[in-house]
Amino acid sequence: MTEHDEGFEVRRVASSELHELRRRVLRSNNPDVSVADPRDEERTSLHYGGFLGERLVVSASFYPSTSPVNPELTTYQLRYMATDFDAQGQGYGALVLDFASAELRSLGVEQVWANGRDTALGFYRATGWELVEGSEHLSAETRLPHTVIFKSL
Ligand SMILES: CC(C)(COP(=O)(O)OP(=O)(O)OC[C@H]1O[C@@H](n2cnc3c(N)ncnc32)[C@H](O)[C@@H]1OP(=O)(O)O)[C@@H](O)C(=O)NCCC(=O)NCCS
């Protein structure tokens, strides 16, 4: 359940291990907002951490969820994709998605979808995701511009 790449390791973790990174990178370290998804503790939810040594630098969580793009497929939703500030741009986020995608595929998941932050769409394009035209919206939680994205596994 791990993947090594020059000191970088990806493994499945408990959602609680990801809260601090979620809050710092995705919520401006605001102590007053929730960084938990109601589905976090469900058995079928999958949480991944990317580690440099013992230090967590990437978080990504996947939840079984009907896709707004292809509701007939077996699909998971990605949330809380984040790489710590000083570790961004070094390929770690992409490695975590690759690792998670391989596990999800082996579980029979056909497609993943997400509400992608518009400022991160370059990352998603570079890692093979597609944008849904006309799906641009403001997130209810952050009020930031998002677009629905998906990737076939
Ligand atoms: C978006 C984010 C998760 C990307 O993680 P990362 O570890 O920095 O990304 P990687 O280094 O693995 O980048 C993989 C590819 O995406 C590209 N990329 C990464 N961020 C990009 C961006 N903002 N715009 C354009 N391209 C980007 C990289 O250049 C790289 O391309 P390459 O394979 O052609 O070299 C990270 O920058 C982040 O946490 N941002 C702040 C939080 C956020 O917006 N999260 C997404 C919420 S939906």
Mutate to test the pocket of ligand 1, among 35, 86, 123, 136 (most ligand atoms within 8 A of CB): 123
Nearest CA to ligand 1 atom 23: 120
How far, in Å, is the centroid of ligand 1 from the Cα of 117?
11
Share the mean pLDDT of the chain: 96
Q: How confident is the model at residue 112 (pLDDT cuts 50, 70, 90)?
A: very high
Q: Which residues line ligand 1 (CB under 6 A)?
A: 25-26, 81-83, 88-94, 116-117, 119-120, 122-123, 126-127
Q: Give residue 99's pLDDT.
A: 98
Q: Give residue 94's pLDDT.
A: 98
d(CA 26, CA 71): 28
Q: How confident is the model at residue 3 (pLDDT cuts 50, 70, 90)?
A: low
In the predicted structure, residue 30 carries a pLDDT above the cut 90: yes
Q: Measured between alpha carbons, how far apart are the two ends of the chain, in Å?
A: 18
How far, in Å, is the centroid of ligand 1 from the Cα of 93?
7
In the predicted structure, residue 20 carries a pLDDT above the cut 60: yes
Nearest-atom index, ligand 1, CA of 26 = 42
Show the tokens assigned to 62.
């996947």
Residues β-bridged to residue 37: none
Q: Give residue 1's pLDDT.
A: 45
d(CA 104, CA 3): 15
Q: What percent of the chain has pLDDT over 70?
A: 97
How far, in Å, is the centroid of ligand 1 from the Cα of 123?
4
Q: What DSSP character marks residue 42?
A: S
d(CA 35, CA 68): 23
**For the domain with range 3-152, which CATH number is right: 3.40.50.970, 3.40.50.720, 3.40.630.30, 3.90.1150.200?**
3.40.630.30
Residue range 36-59: average pLDDT?
A: 97
Nearest-atom index, ligand 1, CA of 115 = 48
Where along the chain do its domains lie? 3-152
Nearest CA to ligand 1 atom 13: 91
Residue range 105-109: average pLDDT?
A: 98
In the predicted structure, residue 6 carries a pLDDT above the cut 80: no
pTM: 0.95
